[in-house]
Amino acid sequence: MEQHRSLSLLFLALAAGLAGGLAGGLVVVVAPGGREATEEVVTPTAVATAATPEATAVAIGSAERLQQAIERVLPAVVTVIADGVPRRNEDGAITQTRNVGSGIVIDDRGHIVTNFHVIDGAAEINVLLTTGEQRPAVVRSHDSPYSDLAVLSVAPEGLRSASWGDSSQLVPGEPVAALSAAGFAIGNSVSVGVVSATGRDWPRNAVILEDLVQTDAAVNSGDSGGALINAEGEVIGLLTTVVRGTSTGSPIQGISFAQSSNSLRPIVNDIVLFGSYVRPRLGIERPFRHHVELTPELSASQGIPLSLGALVIEVEARSAAEEAGVRVGDIVIAVNGVAIDLDNPFVNLLKPLGPGEMADLTVVRGGQQRSIAVLPRLE
């Protein structure tokens, strides 16, 4: 009853906002291309407005529809608990990392979508249902580093599932709700907001995430892998990242991103049907495991002569890159003639490669530039 009352208050606030319009003040804008958030103070022209009874009725009707959608989808959102490999520290004590995120049941066969970063490095994964029941989960497959997506599988009995929506139909200002797990508590959490923008790109962890849905619905730690839904109760995004500040350190609020449903559905469908989604695999493509994306600041601090590129720190054994002659310490500065820079990270340049397409890597080794042709394995 208390949860229903809280939801009702949220939706009354949403309805009032929709009926009365938007107030001015501090406006946070993501620049086209999503490279950097900037701040702009806007002083609106003073205009006396009053919501008509018809507008108020429409707004309340929209809010009620979204509330009903939330109540339908909430049972399909689960808690994902990912435990790392136990390790012994310097003091001899055994420690173990634990990540807690969210996931969405997407069909009646027990498939769950979540963010790859939630389950990365996990030795054991469990899923906590809204009923309090916990079930073991296995990773069906993932799409890292090309997107932040993983598909899990659990025993399907008694699960409630959600359905995908068409993210291309979203419009700015459209009401949406962010549904996520409540950690180890029974039940889930909800925040409401609007679509701020669609088709956004945003750099994170040496990869530019593409075709994101931007929303002002509050998203917090543990919400990764949760559902962004529309008023029809359809999943139109997978909650993925929150922007806390600009590249210059200025704090900002009200910017969260979800990977769009239309960008994820083909990947998920192939993983469910075939066990994987085909991507180019060289054996050096994963940031922080295989390579480190250089920046002018990092290069200056480490005495590296090049300010941009991908510094290879591991080459997978028997991989396409190893067979082609790529070595640890090589700095890849271009792929097929396109220079690696902040707008074109190494991963994003590899992403479009299709079957039989070579990756002609321009590499600097020992101060000498050379070309290494790698035929990626599509796995």
This prediction has a pTM of 0.82
Q: How confident is the model at residue 183 (pLDDT cuts 50, 70, 90)?
A: low
Among 111, 117, 142, 290, the active-site one is 117
Instruction: For 77-118, write each residue's pLDDT tens digit.
Output: 999 999 999 998 888 899 999 999 999 999 999 999 999 999
pLDDT > 70 in the chain, percent: 82
Nearest to 292 by CA among 313, 322, 319, 323: 313
Superfamily the domain 280-378 falls into: PDZ domain (2.30.42.10)
| DSSP three-state, residue 107 | coil
Q: Annotated catalytic, 196? A: no
CATH match of 1-277 with 3.40.50.2300? no
204: number of Cβ within 10 Å: 14
Among 148, 211, 216, 330, the active-site one is 148
Locate the domains of the chain by residue range. Answer: 1-277, 280-378
Higher pLDDT, 260 or 220: 260
CATH fold match for the domains 1-277 and 280-378: no
Q: How far is CA 260 from CA 66, 138, 228, 237, in A?
A: 19, 24, 9, 4
Mean pLDDT of 57-75: 83
Is residue 146 pLDDT above 80, yes or no? yes
Q: Annotated catalytic, 224? A: yes
Among 224, 256, 260, 263, the active-site one is 224
| DSSP three-state, residue 265 | helix
Q: Annotated catalytic, 141? A: no
Nearest to 182 by CA among 82, 79, 73, 104: 79
Helix, strand, coil share of the chain (percent; to 5) = 20, 40, 40
